[in-house]
Amino acid sequence: MVTGGAGFLGSHLCEKLISLGHEVLCVDNFYTGTKSNLGALLECSRFELLRHDVTFPLYVEVDQIFNLACPASPVHYQYDPVQTTKTSVHGSINMLGLAKRVKATILQASTSEVYGDPEVHPQPEDYWGRVNPIGPRSCYDEGKRCAETLFFDYRRQHKLSIKVARIFNTYGPRMKPNDGRVVSNFIVQALSNRPIAIYGDGSQTRSFCYVDDLIDGLIRLMDTPDEVTGPINLGNPTEFTIMELAELVIELTGSRSAIEFKPLPADDPRQRQPDITRARETLAWSPSVPLRDGLIKTIAHFEDLLRESAVA
C-alpha cells in the first residue's frame, strides 16, 4: 500500500513497485495528487486506487505500507495547516494501527524539515534539529516530528517493523506547475520567459535529489531486515545556492528570463545538506543523477505540459 500514491513521489513509487512485480494499493484523497499522475497504472490489473483520507481509519489487508500521504510544498501545506498536522499525526496513528493489526512493515516518508533551520552542517541523523514550534512551517515540521515519535513508540510498545526515511528536497517529472517548490517554479518561469523569482538574496542552499534515485532509496530501505529502523537520510549531498539553481535553469532552458528578488519567507532554512553516511553503509545507496541531467529531464516534462495546455 502506498498512501499519497497519486502525488509526485507516490506515483513514481507505485510505478516502480508495479514494475518489480508487486500488487499495489494506492490510497489518496487527491488533495495535491491526481489520477493523471498514475497514467497507464490505472489499466494494470495488479494496481488498485482508493480515494480515502488517512486521517480516517482504514481497514485493508496489506503486507507493506509506504506512508507518503501529506502535502509537501510550503504553499500547499500552509493552505490548511490544521489538516496538515492531522494528516501527519492522525494519519500516522491510523496507518500504524493498521500495520499493527495486519503485521505489516511500515515506512514513513519523513523529511529534512525535522532538522528545521539547522546549526549543524551537513545534517546527520543524530542531530535533533532546530524547529520553531509555532511558526508557519510548524504544521509540517512538527507534524512530521510527531509522526516519527509515533513510529518509534509503536516500535517500542508494540514491536512493529518500522522504517523512517528523512527525505531531502527531491525534484523530477510530475511536479505540478503550481507546486510552489523552487525547481518547478524556476522551470515554469524560465520556459515562459517570465522573471525568475528568488526569495531572499539567493545565497541560501539546498541539495536536490532526482526522483528516481530517491525511489530506489525508499525501496532499499523497505527491504532491509527488521532491526534496521532508521531514521535514514535520503537525499543528494551536492549542495547548491538558490542563485546557482536559477542560473542553471536559465542556461538549460535557453531562457530570456531576468532574475528578480522577493522577500524571504519566515523560518526559511539557510542551509540544507544531507549527511548520507548511514544510507551508504546500510543500504549501499547513493544518488547517481547529477542536477544538470535531472533538470534536463524535468524541463522536458514541463515543456510537454506547456505544449499540451497550448493545444487545449
Q: Residues 74, 81, 135, 177: which binds ligand UDP (CB under 6 A)?
A: 74
Q: Residues 135, 152, 265, 301: which binds ligand UDP (CB under 6 A)?
A: 265
Cα–Cα distances in Å, from 201 out to 76, 125, 143, 168, 242?
24, 29, 29, 22, 9
Stretch binding ligand NAD (CB under 6 A), from 6-14, 154-162, 220-228, 291-299: 6-14
Q: Residues 76, 166, 174, 181: which binds ligand UDP (CB under 6 A)?
A: 181
CB of 102 to ligand UDP, least distance (A): 7
User: What b-and-e string marks burial along 255-283, b requiring 16 or more CB atoms within 10 Å of the CB?
Assistant: bebeeeeeeeeebebebbbbbbebbeeeb
d(CA 175, CA 170) in angstroms, rounded, equals 10
Does residue 245 bind ligand NAD (CB under 6 A)? no
Q: Which is nearer to ligand UDP, 120 or 197 (CB)?
A: 197
Does residue 159 bind ligand UDP (CB under 6 A)? no
Q: Residues 85, 105, 161, 170: which binds ligand NAD (CB under 6 A)?
A: 170
Does residue 290 bind ligand UDP (CB under 6 A)? no
Q: Residues 18, 49, 197, 228: which binds ligand UDP (CB under 6 A)?
A: 197
Amino acid at 222: M
For the record, the C-alpha cell of 5 comes out as: 500514491
Q: How many CA atoms lie within 13 A of 226 on its CB side?
A: 7
Q: Which is nearer to ligand NAD, 66 or 257 (CB)?
A: 66
d(CA 103, CA 80) in angstroms, rounded, equals 33
Q: For residue 24, what are the β-bridge partners?
A: 47
Binding mask 19-48 toward ligand NAD (x if CB under 6 A, else -) reads ---------xxxxxx---------------
| CA 153 to chain CA centroid, nearest Å | 23
Residue numbers 49-88 binding ligand NAD by CB under 6 A: 53-55, 68-72, 87
Q: Residues 165, 242, 249, 276: which binds ligand UDP (CB under 6 A)?
A: 242
Question: 264 with 239: CB under 8 angstroms?
Answer: no
d(CA 312, CA 297) in angstroms, rounded, equals 23
Does residue 169 bind ligand NAD (CB under 6 A)? yes
Does residue 84 bind ligand UDP (CB under 6 A)? no
Stretch binding ligand UDP (CB under 6 A), from 45-53, 141-149, 180-188, 295-303: 180-188
Catalytic residues: 140
Q: Which is nearer to ligand NAD, 112 or 255 (CB)?
A: 112
Does residue 13 bind ligand UDP (CB under 6 A)? no
Cα–Cα distances in Å, from 287 out to 210, 238, 293?
8, 10, 12
Residue 114, phi then psi, degrees to nearest 5: -65, -20
Longest CA–CA separation in the chain, Å: 58
Closest C-alpha among 132, 160, 156, 146 to residue 267: 132
Binding stretches for ligand UDP (CB under 6 A): 57-59, 74, 93-94, 97-98, 100-101, 169, 181-182, 185, 197-199, 204, 206, 242, 264-265, 268
